[in-house]
Amino acid sequence: MSGWLEALGAALPGRVLTTPADLLAHARDEGTALTSQPGAVVMAQCEADVLATLEVARAHHVPVTPWGAGTSLEGAALPIPGGVSLDLSGMNTVRDPDAVSLSVTVGPGTRRVALNRRLRPHGLWFPVDPGADASLGGMAATNASGTTTLRYGGMRENVAAMRVALMDGRVLALGTAARKSSSGYALGGLFIGSEGTLGVLTALTLRLHPLPSATASMQLAFSDVASAVEASVTFAGLGLGLQRLEFVDGQTIAAVNRHRGRGDPEVPTLWAEVVGRDQADVAAQLALMEEVTRGGGAVVVGQALTPEAATELWAARHGVYDALRAAWPGHATRIADVCVPRSTLAETVARAQVLLAEHDLTAPLVGHIGDGNLHLLLHAPLEDAAAWARIDTLVHALTLHALAVGGTCSGEHGIGLRKRPYLRAEHGEALDVMRDLKTLFDPLNLLNPGKVTGNPANDAAPWSLHDPS
């Protein structure tokens, strides 16, 4: 192999993997059918390993892509072919949580589920929940969010401080464990969502939250999408401790009914979860939600006041993916992700349904409705090129719709490889400033090059979003 690989091996003895199996394990994420094999994998155990990797990359002009848990859905963590996959999963130390400051410092490779298992005995949790058992570094790098973002915000609101290794070998310590600051430019926020293109996160100080004293959930069926959206707006003004508010369309309820032998009304449905001080408090919150939606013809499908009942109640919501797999065994999936102003949610759902019909596709539609974030779980046999072409066309049209109504091309999955063509339309001249920042932090274009801000030469390229799968 070339000199860079030898230099890497010499700088990081025992940390560099090059067997076909190791390379293949870092060649694919959970969302793209794309594969992109690295030339080497570095199993970093500490910040010094990250710095040593960057030093070799700098000297030999080798591209480096950080890798956390590989759960990216848009290709953010896919290595540059032949480059370095910088695997941070070994940097998973969780320091003692501070129950007074409500913070904890973790390595970027720490997984979300393991972190919450560690926090639980302290009466604490880290609520950002993208679904996958992602790494905290990867979640920060894509500004991940999810079902609880309505109440707690996403990663940008929940990373208090970080250490970032820059391409030039400096390590910045950004932010503090204080809960706010008006001191200097907010550099930390720039790295959240930058997908490893500006620097490598080597430690994160996270904002924690006390475990709720009591929670309760409710499943509500609505006659139409607009009524469900209206209910979500009404709920926001009731003084509730709303923690989750999830939407699923009628066709998807039908699919889940078939899969699980349930008989839920096959109409637009909300799941709401509230937190409060005790059982009576959360029960009163459910009662109030029922009361204010009754006039609009909403039907309470079920309520849950115990953890066991909640597991059962949420099973239908969580069962969407399983129902999809059962209905269409062997299909590969692609999850569309757009976020729109809430006032345009109903028309966006309607547009998605029209697009599905036009393109002869069926796909579960779910949404973090309180945030205006919608997902379509598109699927087809991996080898059905015609179906994937229709899926590409649909996702493209839905993304353009989101931008046209004042939304964003990515609510929570990031840009990675496939959303790059939309940055000019969404950000205008700000994309040029983003590229200036990329050049400032990474003048040799070695940090996950081509991701997020992409290649200026391709801005005006015809749309070409089909995975070569």
Least separation, in Å, of the C-beta of 263 and a copy of itself?
32
Q: What is the distance between the terminal CA atoms of the chain, rounded to a whole angstrom?
A: 29
Least separation, in Å, of the C-beta of 322 and a copy of itself?
26
Q: What angle do CA 55, 172, 29 make, to 5 degrees?
A: 65
Residue 4, amino acid: W
Q: How large is the greatest C-alpha to C-alpha distance in the chain, in angstroms?
A: 72
- Is residue 157 a contact partner of residue 180, using CB atoms and an 8 Å limit? no
Residue with Cβ nearer a copy of itself (57 or 340): 340
Residue with Cβ nearer a copy of itself (287 or 315): 287
Q: What angle do CA 464, 466, 469 make, to 5 degrees?
A: 145
CA dist 154 → 115, 135, 246, 392, 430 (Å): 16, 14, 16, 28, 23
- Is residue 339 a contact partner of residue 226, using CB atoms and an 8 Å limit? no
Query: Which residues make Cβ contacts (< 8 Å) with residue 283, sequence separation at least 6?
Result: 216, 305
Least separation, in Å, of the C-beta of 290 and a copy of itself?
13
Least separation, in Å, of the C-beta of 10 and a copy of itself?
27
Residue with Cβ nearer a copy of itself (219 or 243): 243
The two structure tokens encoding residue 17: 């993997």
Q: Which residue has the tokens 């979500």?
A: 232
Residue with Cβ nearer a copy of itself (3 or 123): 123
Residue with Cβ nearer a copy of itself (255 or 352): 352
Residue with Cβ nearer a copy of itself (18 or 176): 176
Least separation, in Å, of the C-beta of 425 and a copy of itself?
10
Can you tell me the distance from the alpha carbon of 324 to that of 321, in angstroms, rounded to the nearest whole number? 5
Least separation, in Å, of the C-beta of 64 and a copy of itself?
19
Radius of gyration of the chain (CA): 23
Least separation, in Å, of the C-beta of 335 and a copy of itself?
13
Residue with Cβ nearer a copy of itself (59 or 404): 404
